[in-house]
Chains A and B, each alone.
Chain A
């Protein structure tokens, strides 16, 4: 069943058009990846989905309801959590406070508490550092925190923007393992990655974005095998 349906959206930064008639579809339970070069518009698309940017034209439907142009706050409430590029953890707050803010709109104290224990189980490193200011964490730990914070919102759909950026290979592996785990637990994932190989290996489907347009889409396996994608994004020969 289609969970997120984006139809022909145009997004502008001032006069510059960043997305040109982009359409994508994400089904419930999937991991879908967006791949493409720097500046292709992948992050712009995620920001539009989470309400940080407003589309000029086009439709965005999440669970059969239009969310195009809605406030970020009400989009979070409807079940979309966005883990932004560069983690954006609140450096001046402790690890635990960051996680609490992830659950900002929730009122079920018991549920929040048990989800926090769950996050600490997934990322034991965060438990060790829960009283520490998050600005003192390493890049990988901050990525864990950003993802933990998103889990705390109990989302139906998680938007992940470049989770592997700047991380050591071992940490990238951990993070991708967690992406697969939370997906298996029932969370749908829309994943933006520069590391296309990694992304296509966990995703079921993918879209290739170039200069603000979707140029190719299909099952991840097919994209991985496609000559075009191999040459442009997988460093293939």
Chain B
């Protein structure tokens, strides 16, 4: 059952993309900014997880929570320092700033700790079980469960809490949201906090799953998650989840077919095709800009 095995690998990879893509899409939804520094928040989250486990001797879940909390704070700091003052600037100015922030984080981390990679410790046993003929590791089941729980939690926050409703209101109409008494600045910060926490979680999960981490590890997954967000329809939360999973599965299939050198290319071919044929993404409605 080679195919089932590959499908499970694809879903595991895809759930990591999905977690990162959620942050992209939420931030875009609320301030129309493609936050290119988001992949680097994922990297920082991965390192925080790594040090929590190796230096502080924490277990997986405490490390995960510590990483998520630190990344939430980090995301808010980035937003307050770099993006807030650009809220009324042109979108291209904000985009260039985001690229600058991305480089600053990458090379800041290299400056502090060097560029050498690290190997995540093996915190889960390598035990696996057979399911319909496929070997499934306990680790991948756990990773998938964590991702699913986080996504359900996110849906709950966005749909059932006051903050979530405020986030959706601000993303639709900032002025009207102000008239409700919503504090727009705090709502935007909350969005960054939640998106960054998810990226931090993805960082820890990535480390546990793929072992090797380094200061530039956020670049490619960050871009792939961006593709996933566009694929699902940028600004649409379920779109990011589905886009991430589709992308993960497609990449794994491309590898399984023997074209593993093409797997990165596959992601970007998808991006190009989406932009040509359905720029609003799978879940997006084709709306013309209102004048």
- Chain A positions near chain B (C-beta within 8 angstroms): 50-52, 72-73, 76-77, 81-82, 84, 88-93, 97, 100-102, 104-105, 149, 153
Contacts and interface: CB of A to CB of B under 8 A. Distances in A.
Nearest to A106: B181
Interface in B148-178: 162, 165-166, 168-169, 171-173, 175-178
A14 to B, nearest CB: 13
A76 to B, nearest CB: 4
B180 interface: yes
B179 interface: yes
A77 B180 CA distance: 9
A153 B182 CA distance: 12
A93 B169 contact: yes
Nearest to B169: A90
A53 to B, nearest CB: 10
Contacts of A92: 168, 171-172
Given A73-B183, A100-B165, A101-B166, A52 B172 contact: no
B162 A104 contact: yes
Interface string B170-212: 0111011111111100000000000000000000000000000
7 contacts: A73-B183, A81-B179, A84-B176, A88-B175, A101-B165, A104-B166, A104-B182
Contacts of A72: 178-179, 181
B185 to A, nearest CB: 10
Instruction: Find the residue from A72, A76, A82, A153 having the highest chain B CB count within 10 A.
Output: A72
B132 to A, nearest CB: 40
The secondary structure that dominates the A interface is loop
A52 B184 CA distance: 12
Contacts of B176: 84, 88-90
A149 B165 contact: no
A119 to B, nearest CB: 15
B172 A102 contact: no
Contacts of B180: 76, 101-102, 104-105, 149, 153
A52 B181 contact: no
A84 B179 CA distance: 9
A51 B162 contact: no
Given A52-B179, A90-B169, A93-B169, 13 more contacts: A52-B178, A72-B179, A82-B179, A88-B175, A88-B179, A90-B173, A93-B168, A97-B165, A101-B180, A101-B182, A104-B162, A104-B182, A153-B180
* Complex A-B, nearest 4 residue pairs according to Cβ-Cβ distance, in ascending order: A76-B181, A88-B176, A72-B178, A105-B181
B66 to A, nearest CB: 32
Contact of A153 (B162, B168, B181): B181
Contacts of B181: 72-73, 76-77, 104-105, 153
Nearest to B186: A73
A76 B182 CA distance: 9
Contact of B168 (A82, A88, A90): A90
Contacts of A73: 178, 181-183
A51 B178 contact: yes
Contacts of B173: 88, 90
Contact of A101 (B169, B171, B175, B183): B169
B236 to A, nearest CB: 10
B235 to A, nearest CB: 10
Contacts of B165: 93, 97, 100-101
Contacts of A51: 178
A76 B176 CA distance: 12
Contacts of B172: 90-93
A153 B180 CA distance: 8
Contacts of A149: 180
Contact of B179 (A50, A91, A100): A50
Nearest to B179: A82
Contacts of A76: 179-181
B26 to A, nearest CB: 14
A105 B177 CA distance: 12
A102 B165 CA distance: 11
A105 B175 CA distance: 16
B182 A52 contact: no
A88 B171 CA distance: 13
B281 to A, nearest CB: 16
A39 B135 CA distance: 71
Instruction: Find the residue from B175, B180, B182 having the highest chain A CB count within 10 A.
Output: B180
Nearest to A82: B179
A50 B183 CA distance: 14
A51 B175 CA distance: 10
